[in-house]
Amino acid sequence: MPGQRSDTRRGSATERGYTYKWEQARAAFLKINPLCRRCKDMGRTTAATEVDHVIPHKGDRKLFWDRANWQALCKTHHSRKTASEERGGLRRGCDAQGDARSTRTTPGIGPLRDDRRLREG
């Protein structure tokens, strides 16, 4: 995949299964699922540009190719989810998908940033 660095811990994109065959399957999936699932859940209409493995496959070829484990995401949501998975946990103030929580406080943690309020000015 262009622009992807090889990570010695994870291997290259090709070593992880992201081959021409994947690019063809990915394009077909995005054609059928053109909108970001997370944005759609929030009432937004955003084009999906990434096919995400809902459950990280971690080299499991069967899970990698299981289309029931795929979801269409926009770049932002895919990056947030991937970063959260690589950190091995949740970001303060975010749910498992990396989206800002709608509550203003969490007991024992304190105030959380409310992205909607910031966007509205």
Place of tokens 């959260």: 84
Looking at residue 75, its amino acid is: K
Distance between CA 73 and CA 38 in Å, rounded? 7
Distance between CA 40 and CA 55 in Å, rounded? 20
pTM (whole model) above 0.75: no
Q: What is the pLDDT of residues 47-100, one digit of tens each?
A: 999 999 999 998 899 999 999 999 999 999 999 998 888 887 554 445 555 555
For the cut 50, the answer to whether the pLDDT of residue 115 exceeds it is no
46 vs 84, residue with greater confidence = 46
8 A C-beta contact, residue 64 and residue 17: yes
State the alpha helices, DSSP H only, in the chain: 20-32, 37-41, 61-65, 75-87, 115-120
